[in-house]
Amino acid sequence: MRIAMVGAGYVGLVSGACFAEFGVEVCVVDTDATKVAALREGRIPIYEPGLERLVADNVRERRLTFTTDLAEAVAGAEAVFLAVGTPSRRGDGHADLSYVFAAAEQVARAATGPLVLVTKSTVPVGTGAQVREIVRTARPDIAIDVASNPEFLREGSAIGDFMRPDRVVIGVEPGEAGERALAVLRRLYRPLYLIETPIVATGIETAELIKYAANAFLATKITFINEVADLCEKVGANVHDVARGMGLDGRIGRKFLHAGPGYGGSCFPKDTLALARTAQDAGAPMRLVETTIAVNEARKAQMAERVIAACGGSVAGKTVAVLGLTFKPETDDMREAPSLAIVPRLAEAGAALRAFDPAGMAHAKPLLPSSVHYATNALDAAAGADALVLLTEWNEFRALSPERLKAAMRGDVLLDLRNVYDPEAMRAAGFRYLSIGRP
Ligand X SMILES: NC(=O)c1ccc[n+]([C@@H]2O[C@H](COP(=O)([O-])OP(=O)(O)OC[C@H]3O[C@@H](n4cnc5c(N)ncnc54)[C@H](O)[C@@H]3O)[C@@H](O)[C@H]2O)c1
Q: Which residues lie near ligand X (CB under 6 A)?
A: 6-12, 29-32, 35, 83-86, 99, 102-103, 106, 121-122, 151, 153, 155, 266-267
Give the integer Cα–Cα distance in Å for 105 and 139. 9
Give the integer Cα–Cα distance in Å for 65 and 410. 52
Q: How far is the CB of 129 from ligand X (least distance, A)?
A: 17
Class of residue 91 by CB neighbours under 10 A (exposed 0-12, middle 13-18, buried 19+)? exposed
Q: Which of left, alpha, beta for 283 (phi over 0: left; psi -120 to 50: alpha)?
A: left
Give the integer Cα–Cα distance in Å for 226 and 239. 9
Judged by beta carbon, residue 99 or residue 224, the one nearer ligand X is: 99
Q: How far is the CB of 72 from ligand X (least distance, A)?
A: 12
Q: How far is the CB of 107 from ligand X (least distance, A)?
A: 9
Of the candidates 215, 15, 16, the one whose C-alpha atom is nearest the C-alpha of residue 122 is 215
Give the integer Cα–Cα distance in Å for 204 and 2. 23
- Catalytic residue, candidates 18, 27, 267, 311: 267
Angstrom distances, CA of residue 80 to CA of 12, 29, 352: 11, 10, 49
For residue 155, what are the contacts with CB-CB under 8 A and spacing of at least 6? 10, 48, 265, 266, 328, 330, 331, 333
Q: How far is the CB of 406 from ligand X (least distance, A)?
A: 36
The CB-side HSE value for 200 (13 A sphere, CA atoms) comes to 18
Q: How far is the CB of 10 from ligand X (least distance, A)?
A: 4
Judged by beta carbon, residue 51 or residue 413, the one nearer ligand X is: 51
Q: How far is the CB of 193 from ligand X (least distance, A)?
A: 22
Judged by beta carbon, residue 238 or residue 331, the one nearer ligand X is: 331
Judged by beta carbon, residue 35 or residue 63, the one nearer ligand X is: 35
Q: Which residue is nearest to ligand X (CB)?
A: 9
Q: What is the DSSP string of 364-393?
A: HGGGS-TTPEEPSSHHHHHTT-SEEEE-S-
Active site residue 232: no
Angstrom distances, CA of residue 246 to CA of 228, 241, 438: 11, 8, 16
Judged by beta carbon, residue 10 or residue 397, the one nearer ligand X is: 10
Judged by beta carbon, residue 159 or residue 400, the one nearer ligand X is: 159
Q: What kind and span of H or E run contains 5?
A: strand 2-6
Catalytic residues: 267
